[in-house]
Amino acid sequence: MFSKIAIIAKAHAPNIDVIVNQACKWLLAKGIEVNVEEQFGYDVDAQVGRKPTKELLSGSEMAIVFGGDGTLIAIAQNAVKFSVPILGVNAGSLGFLTDITLDELYDALAEILDGKFKLDERIALRGQIISPNMQRRKLLAVNDFVINKSSIARMIEIRTYINDVFVTKYRGDGLIISTPTGSTAYSLAAGGPVLHPGSGVIVLSPICPHTLTVRPIVVPDDVTVKVRLYSKGQEVNLTIDGQEAIHLLDGDELVVRKARKRFKLIQSLRTDYYEILRKKLFWGRNIGQE
């Protein structure tokens, strides 16, 4: 089913060279073309190709990511761009997206290569900054767009519109515009709801709002969200998936819509999203229980 596979790994994960080398050998034995990131210099078979990270997914039919969710999210934009599905293998800590363990890897890979897997297609968000101070930039987020003030600044104001209809003025530390995938990331920490990844929605979660009655709002994913910043000269950043930060100025606008392409995850047929929530969020366990 997959004949060209890219492998990406968290650089300093324990025993990562050994893990990647074993995976490459296993895949090569199956007659699969394998490419890894050239800059990490893994001790891999000579048959394994080496490419720059930005080029690694071009031409690949699947990517295996060893690490935590941060490692996976870091390459997600390229994965969406090239429509490459990702198998996340947990060699990190939390792992909502990297739910396959190292112990399960080869049984899971055997099933996947035999066509026995689920393809979980999730929405991504495309954004555009409209500003007199910079060229219009096209942005892509799998988790979220976060507008956030610096730690020493006063409150900022963010005026929010849905399909050009005014909704409210958020006054506080900032605003998170999140996909269902990102609902278990920063949005959750800000008091946002946990959303099933298949939900066709976008969630807006204010960060430390000045007004206590202001709460997160969930809207359909076919709307256009527009936010306008009033910062009074304070330092404010737009962060995309926690990977890239762009400085915003007073009066700048961010327009967010659902992206045309989807974020694709390969999952075992045994994967249960609710089991992942129970395990990762410790639902149903007493505090201090092992």
The model's confidence at residue 283, banded by pLDDT at 50, 70 and 90, is: confident
Please report the pLDDT score of residue 281 as a whole number. Answer: 83
Q: What is the mean pLDDT of the chain?
A: 90
Helix pair 105-113, 16-29: axis angle to 10 deg: 30
Question: Which residue would you say has higher pLDDT here, 61 or 15?
Answer: 61
The model's confidence at residue 172, banded by pLDDT at 50, 70 and 90, is: very high
| Chain region(s) in the chain for CATH 2.60.200.30 | 125-258
Residue 49, judged by CB atoms within 10 A of its CB (0-12, 13-18, 19+), counts as: middle
Q: What is the pLDDT of residues 91-113, one digit of tens each?
A: 866 678 888 889 999 999 999 99
Please report the pLDDT score of residue 1 as a whole number. Answer: 79
User: Rounded distance, CA 148 to CA 287, Å?
Assistant: 32
Active site residue 69: yes
Q: Is the pLDDT of residue 191 over 70?
A: yes
The CATH superfamily of 4-122+262-281 is Probable inorganic polyphosphate/atp-NAD kinase; domain 1 (3.40.50.10330)
The model's confidence at residue 286, banded by pLDDT at 50, 70 and 90, is: low
The CATH superfamily of 125-258 is Probable inorganic polyphosphate/atp-NAD kinase; domain 2 (2.60.200.30)
Rounded to an integer, the average pLDDT of 272-287 is: 80
Q: Is the pLDDT of residue 287 over 80?
A: no
Query: Which one of the listed residues 17, 43, 69, 164 is annotated catalytic?
Result: 69
Q: Is the pLDDT of residue 130 over 90?
A: yes
| Chain region(s) in the chain for CATH 3.40.50.10330 | 4-122+262-281
Please report the pLDDT score of residue 76 as a whole number. Answer: 92
Q: Is the pLDDT of residue 258 over 80?
A: yes
Name the percent of the chain lying above pLDDT 70. Answer: 93
Q: What is the pLDDT of residues 193-224, one digit of tens each?
A: 999 999 999 999 999 998 888 999 999 999 99
Please report the pLDDT score of residue 194 as a whole number. Answer: 96
The model's confidence at residue 255, banded by pLDDT at 50, 70 and 90, is: very high
